[in-house]
């Protein structure tokens, strides 16, 4: 069995691998989540009341990353389908998945394709579209599929946080949304004003109302959509 001193050394090495104190702190939080089983909602705490599937349905976590929301909803007894294309977070996601969690190492979009995923120091910044300040210079090829192609049953909640790729995902989930009318929780990325208008229009055309907007951190809006 690994001694405590060895575990601390591993944790320290993981932390200092980051290039800045911000990413070091981010990594420390992820380590706490992974090693200690904590649920660190942080600035996303205000959306906690909405993270409940409608009609006792399943939860679809698009951009699950290390699985904070996957774990939170799964522990409430709901079936979870977690999608994460990034290699490192996906490895953790599968390792720690409860029996009611199904994981998929694919990206979602509006059509089947193979795409380049831009990898960042903070895995939450990994994106098919963007290269943030902490971009590592590395990419990885990922499979892209539509949510509709999985033909999931009784979908009660969909959360989307994909660093700007939200619109293609919604377009590829049209049949799922029209059939099951799940609650939607969507984090919107820049250009925020334009994206809010586009996403709101898509949802209204599919019979949804935007019931509230929350800001994640200092500026990131989170749209909550409910079927009308």
Domains and CATH numbers, the chain: 1-38 (no CATH), 41-110+147-227 (3.40.50.150)
Determine the pLDDT at residue 221.
Answer: 84
Residues 164, 78: Cα–Cα separation, whole Å: 27
What is the C-alpha separation between 109 and 1, in angstroms, rounded?
A: 43
**Angle at CA of residue 64, ends 18 and 59, nearest 5°:** 160
For a pLDDT cut of 90, what percent of the chain falls above it?
A: 69
The yes-or-no verdict on residue 15 having pLDDT over 50 is no
Please give the average per-residue pLDDT across 47-54, as a whole number: 94
CA distances from 71 to 38, 66, 172, 177 (A): 10, 9, 25, 23
H or E element that contains 58: strand 58-62
Global pTM reads 0.83
Residue 12 pLDDT exceeds 80: no
What would the mean pLDDT of 43-55 be, rounded to a whole number? 89
Question: For the chain, how big is the Rg over CA atoms in Å?
Answer: 17
pLDDT at 190: 86
> Which residues have CB under 8 Å from 68's CB, separation 6+?
33, 39, 40, 41
**Confidence band (pLDDT; 50, 70, 90) for 193?**
confident
- Contact in structure between 56 and 156 (CB atoms under 8 Å): yes
């Amino acid at each position: 069995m690994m001694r405590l001193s060895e575990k601390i050394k591993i944790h320290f090495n993981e932390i200092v691998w980051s290039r800045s104190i911000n990413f070091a702190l981010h990594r420390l939080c992820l380590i706490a989540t992974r090693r200690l089983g904590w649920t660190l909602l942080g600035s996303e705490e205000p959306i906690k009341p909405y993270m409940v599937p409608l009609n006792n349905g399943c939860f679809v976590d698009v951009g699950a990353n290390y699985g904070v929301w996957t774990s939170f909803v799964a522990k409430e007894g709901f079936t979870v389908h977690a999608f994460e294309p990034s290699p490192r977070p996906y490895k953790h996601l599968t390792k720690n998945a409860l029996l009611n969690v199904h994981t998929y190492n694919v990206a979602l979009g509006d059509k089947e394709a193979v795409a380049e995923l831009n990898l960042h120091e903070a895995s939450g910044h990994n994106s098919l579209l963007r290269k943030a300040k902490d971009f590592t210079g590395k990419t990885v090829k990922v499979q892209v599929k539509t949510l509709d192609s999985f033909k999931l049953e009784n979908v009660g909640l969909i959360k989307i946080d994909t660093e700007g790729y939200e619109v293609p995902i919604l377009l590829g989930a049209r049949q799922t949304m029209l059939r099951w009318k799940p609650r939607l929780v969507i984090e919107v990325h820049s250009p925020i004003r334009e994206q809010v208008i586009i996403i709101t229009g898509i949802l209204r055309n599919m019979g949804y109302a935007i019931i509230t907007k929350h800001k994640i951190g200092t500026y990131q809006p989170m749209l909550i959509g409910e079927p009308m």
